[in-house]
Amino acid sequence: MSKKRPNIVFFGIDSLRSDHMSLYGYKRLTTPHIDKYAQGGVVFEHCFSPHIPTTSGYSSMLTGMDCFGTNVVALRHVGGIAEGVRTLPEILKDYGYNTTCIGFRGNAASRGFDTYIDFEGWGASDDGRAHKAENLNAVALPELERLHKEGKPFMLFMRHMDPHSPYLPPEPFHKMFYQGDEFDKNNKSLEKVYEFKPFRDYFYSWFPPYCTDAEYIIAQYDAAIAYMDVCIQSILTKLEALGIEDETLVIFTSDHGETLMEHDCYFDHHGLYDCTLNVPLIIKYKGLPKGMRIKDYCQLKDIVPTLLDILDVEYDKDVLQGSSLVPLVRGEYREPEPEFYITECTWMRKHGWRTPEWKLIVALEPDFHFKPEIELYNLVKDPGENHNVASENPEVVEMLKKRMEKHILRRTSQTGRENPMYTNLNWHGYGEGAFKSSKDAYDTLHIGDPEAAKRLQQKEGNK
């Protein structure tokens, strides 16, 4: 009898930026349980989600492909992933895996699971707080038991929603990182947020009435992470109780980060800045080193080949754009990928090129923040990306543009398709065609409440 392959418990958390996890050095103790668990595994310190937001991020995470391979760049993507591309659960099915997806039904990126289970991961309960992770546990824990009892190797994928707005962690978490007066009339830090018409009605629907302090909202994001961390411990404890911890590979990552008050992209995940591109990546399984932290750059597309490598599943390395991280774990050479293409079709349509020193962002149409067409940041001198130095460095802009365009040409030639950033002209959901001006975008784009946000992420066109 052949040896049973390891199970996979996959935490695919939505909107979790790594720099707000204590695991990655954040000043607040937001992830103590994950921190402790990660001591028994491998932590990748510089993992990037280059294709944001949700649909494109998860597509890369679950296929091992870049956006040219998946043909997915837009949140409101219509249709499926590119023909011929196989998702991780589809690959695992060939090896007898029983696969379940919790909280991600109907999205192009979630194709191929045997079982789909929903949970309430958006709005508030009767107490005015969102019990997202508890709702997930209510279905995940019995599903873990079912998968274990069936005796097959399994993959349980969970899309935790706690770091995704609205940030409404329940008591006693919601005040754990904030002891100020969120209604101080002399505090003007949220004035610009309330003035931003496209999102204003959405914020009014879940901010406390008359809240004035931006730090309170940021503390809610952090508290939501801490609340989720506690609930995640219940799942890890269940693995122990079932006696399958040693035969289960556990992975933590996210589809993208989150902008809080940075860059005027308030409490959302648009803008090609590193707070949105940086995501956690933790892998734990017997035989892997304990307490290892790896500084090399990696991307979401590297997850699938890494898992297949650990599982000893054969795959065509020439088909996937990602490459296995196992050589790094073994202390061996892995060809680095220090510069890469970045894309966004969330509330703006932009692409760019990131190197260890420079970040180039190019708008493909005017955006609703009235930002310049070209942005250039020196990531060494200005890691917060606060000073656009494009006008002072035209030669750097041209050099990075040429490298980006060369990459686009190579990938479109390899796939036989045009760059999806050029073809997804209904990315905003308002019909074909680009916005003609920033004012046009500002006056058109709008989100009103958590239910509207939920509908946006579960677009009917993705069925």
Name which of 269, 349, 310, 363 is nearest 53 in CA terms.
269
The structure tokens listed for 89 are 């659960």
pLDDT at residue 122, as a whole number: 84
Q: Which residues contact 335 (CB under 8 A, 6 or more apart)?
A: 323
Q: State the distance between the two ends of the chain, measured CA to CA, in whole angstroms.
A: 40
pLDDT at residue 374, as a whole number: 98
Under a CB-based contact definition with an 8 Å cutoff, are residues 290 and 363 in contact? no
Cα 351 to chain centroid distance, Å, stands at 17
pLDDT at residue 461, as a whole number: 38
Cα–Cα distance, 434 to 326 (Å, whole number): 42
Cα–Cα distance, 364 to 458 (Å, whole number): 25
The residue type at 37: Y
The structure tokens listed for 16 are 């979790």
CA distance readout (Å), 69 to 65, 66, 329, 396: 5, 5, 26, 28
Question: pTM of the full predicted structure?
Answer: 0.95
pLDDT at residue 463, as a whole number: 36
Determine whether 178 is exposed, middle or buried from the number of CB atoms within 10 Å of its CB (0-12, 13-18, 19+).
middle
> Cα angle vertex 346, ends 169, 389, to 5°?
105
- 447 phi and psi, to 5 degrees? -135, 135
Domains of the chain: 7-333 (3.40.720.10), 340-443 (3.30.1120.10)
pLDDT along the chain (463 residues), means of 10: 82 98 98 98 98 96 97 92 94 96 91 95 87 97 97 97 96 95 97 96 94 98 98 98 97 97 95 97 96 97 97 88 96 95 96 98 97 98 98 98 98 96 91 91 89 65 38
Look at strands 281-284 and 7-13 and give their pairing. Answer: unpaired
DSSP secondary structure of 418-437: --HHHH-TTTTSS-SS--SS
Under a CB-based contact definition with an 8 Å cutoff, are residues 213 and 186 in contact? no
